[in-house]
C-alpha cells in the first residue's frame, strides 16, 4: 500500500476561512477557525502535485476526515482555542534555569501562579531532558514530583512529564490526568500498559532514539517533516492496537529534540501536515536554543519574546496545545491573535 499524506496549504483565518469553506473553496483544519484552500499530495515520500481542495482525487478522499474533523476535547477540556500548558520543572538542571528540585513549596506556588495567569494544564517534570542531562532514577523522580502533583492536581489538569512507567503510575495515582513522554512510550516497555490501564490522555513526542543525552548526534533526515509525521503516525497506530484510542492522543513534533535550527523551522512551517493524523497537535518551543540563535539571546531565561512569537506562529499553523514557561504573556498574546484573526474580542474571563 502506498504511503500517503495530504499536506494542507494556503491556510486561511477568520472571515476568509469561513466564507471559503462555505463556498466549497476551502476545508476546515480539524474543525477549527483555520481552513486550507490547497493541498500537497505526497506519496511514498514524493510530492505528486498541489491541487485545490475541491480537486483532491477520489482515491485520496479517505485521508480527509482526520484533517477536517475536530478531535475530541483533550483531557476533557472544552476551550475552542489553543490550550496553554504551563511548565513546572522540579529539577536542579533545567536548561531554562527555572528548575525547583530543592523547593517543593516554590514549585507548587509557581503552578498556582500559572493557573491564575490562565494556564489550562500544568506539566510537571522531575527529570531534565536537555541534551547531555544526567538521567534520573524513577525513585528520585517520584520523590521530586509527587508532592507537587498531589497539590496542583486538586486545582487543574496535571500532566506528568516522564519516560518512566513507575513515575507515570505514581503520578496518575496521585491525581495527574495526562502522561507526556518525550520518547512516545518507547523508553519503558511497561509505559503503554500504564497509560492504557488508566485510560489517560497521552502526549507522544518525536525524538530520535530514546535517550536525550545523544539525540543531537542523530539529527539527520532526508525530509524531517515527512519522517516526523511518519514516526508519529506509526506510534499512534501501534498504541491504538494496545487500547489507547487516537482521541486520547496529542502529538508533539519534538522541536529541538534531535533537530537542527533548519529542522525546527521546517516543522513549524509545515505543522499542518500533522493534522492529518487526527490528534491534537502540541508544540513546545519555549526558550529553546534555536530561538536564542535567531533573536541573538544566549541566556535561555531571557527568551520570553521570541518564545511568545513562536507560540503564536504555531497556533496560526494549527497547534492546539502550547507548552510554555511564560504563561501570562502567552495567554495575552494569544488573546490578541485570536481577536485579530476572528474579528471578535474574546470574553476576558474565558481566554
Rounded Cα distance, 184 and 195, in Å: 11
Confidence at residue 217, expressed as pLDDT on a 0 to 100 scale: 65
Catalytic residue among 246, 259, 287, 288: 288
pLDDT digits (tens, 9 = 90+) for 312-344: 999 999 999 999 999 999 999 999 998 888 776
Domains of the chain, by residue range, sit at: 4-62, 78-342
Q: Which three cell numbers stand for residue 128?
A: 531534565
What does the pLDDT look like over 236-262, one tens digit per residue? 999 999 999 999 999 999 999 999 999
Examine the residue annotation and report whether 323 is marked as an active-site residue of this protein: yes
Q: What is the pTM of this model?
A: 0.93
pLDDT at 101: 57
Domain 78-342 has CATH 3.20.20.20: yes
What pLDDT digit, counting tens, does each position of 86-108 carry? 999 998 755 544 555 568 899 99
The answer to whether 211 and 183 have CB atoms below 8 angstroms apart is no
Residues contacting residue 83 through CB under 8 Å, at least 6 positions apart: 74, 77, 120, 121, 320, 321, 322
- Nearest Cα residue to 340 out of 23, 98, 13, 2: 13
pLDDT, tens digit, for every residue of 204-243? 999 987 777 666 767 789 999 999 999 999 999 999 999 9
Residue 103 CB partners (closer than 8 Å, separation 6+): none
Residue 181 to residues 135, 169, 174, 324, 342, Cα–Cα distance (Å): 15, 13, 18, 16, 34
Do residues 162 and 179 touch, judged by C-beta distance below 8 A?
Answer: yes
pLDDT (0 to 100) of residue 341: 80
Q: What is the pLDDT of residues 125-167, one digit of tens each?
A: 999 877 667 788 999 999 999 999 999 999 999 999 999 999 9
pLDDT, one tens digit per residue, over 14-56 is 889 999 999 999 999 999 989 999 999 999 999 999 999 999 9
For the residues of 74-90, what is the DSSP string, one character each? GGG---SS-EEEEEEE-
Amino acid at each position: 500500500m502506498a504511503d500517503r499524506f495530504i499536506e494542507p496549504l494556503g491556510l486561511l483565518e477568520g472571515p476568509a476561512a469561513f466564507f471559503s469553506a462555505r463556498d466549497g473553496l476551502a476545508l476546515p483544519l480539524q474543525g477549527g477557525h483555520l481552513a486550507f484552500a490547497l493541498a500537497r499530495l505526497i506519496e511514498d515520500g514524493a510530492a505528486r502535485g498541489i491541487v485545490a481542495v475541491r480537486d483532491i482525487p477520489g482515491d485520496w478522499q479517505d485521508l480527509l476526515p482526520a484533517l477536517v474533523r475536530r478531535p475530541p476535547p483533550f483531557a476533557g477540556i472544552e476551550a475552542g482555542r489553543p490550550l496553554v500548558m504551563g511548565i513546572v520543572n522540579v529539577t536542579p538542571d533545567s536548561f531554562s534555569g527555572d528548575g525547583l528540585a530543592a523547593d517543593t513549596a516554590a514549585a507548587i506556588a509557581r503552578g498556582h501562579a500559572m493557573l491564575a495567569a490562565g494556564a489550562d494544564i500544568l506539566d510537571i517534570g522531575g527529570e531534565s531532558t536537555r541534551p547531555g542531562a544526567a538521567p534520573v532514577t524513577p525513585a528520585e523522580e517520584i520523590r521530586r514530583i509527587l508532592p507537587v502533583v498531589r497539590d496542583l492536581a486538586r486545582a487543574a489538569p496535571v500532566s506528568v512529564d516522564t519516560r518512566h512507567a513507575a513515575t507515570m503510575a505514581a503520578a496518575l495515582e496521585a491525581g495527574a490526568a495526562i502522561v507526556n513522554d518525550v520518547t512516545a512510550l518507547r523508553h519503558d516497555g511497561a509505559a503503554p500498559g500504564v497509560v492504557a490501564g488508566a485510560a489517560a490522555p497521552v502526549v507522544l513526542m518525536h525524538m530520535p532514539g530514546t535517550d536525550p543525552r545523544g539525540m543531537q548526534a542523530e539529527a539527520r533526515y532526508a525530509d524531517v517533516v515527512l519522517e516526523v509525521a511518519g514516526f508519529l503516525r506509526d506510534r499512534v497506530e501501534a498504541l491504538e492496537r494496545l487500547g489507547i484510542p487516537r482521541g486520547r492522543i496529542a502529538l508533539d513534533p519534538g522541536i529541538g529534540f534531535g533537530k537542527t535550527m533548519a529542522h525546527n523551522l521546517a516543522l513549524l512551517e509545515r505543522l499542518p501536515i500533522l493534522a492529518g493524523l487526527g490528534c491534537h497537535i502540541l508544540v513546545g518551543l519555549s526558550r529553546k536554543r534555536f530561538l536564542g540563535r535567531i533573536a541573538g539571546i544566549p541566556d535561555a531565561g531571557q527568551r520570553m519574546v521570541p518564545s511568545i512569537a513562536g507560540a503564536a506562529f504555531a497556533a496560526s499553523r494549527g497547534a492546539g496545545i502550547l507548552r510554555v514557561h511564560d504563561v501570562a504573556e502567552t495567554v495575552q498574546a494569544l488573546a490578541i491573535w485570536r481577536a485579530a484573526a476572528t474579528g471578535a474580542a474574546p470574553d476576558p474571563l474565558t481566554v
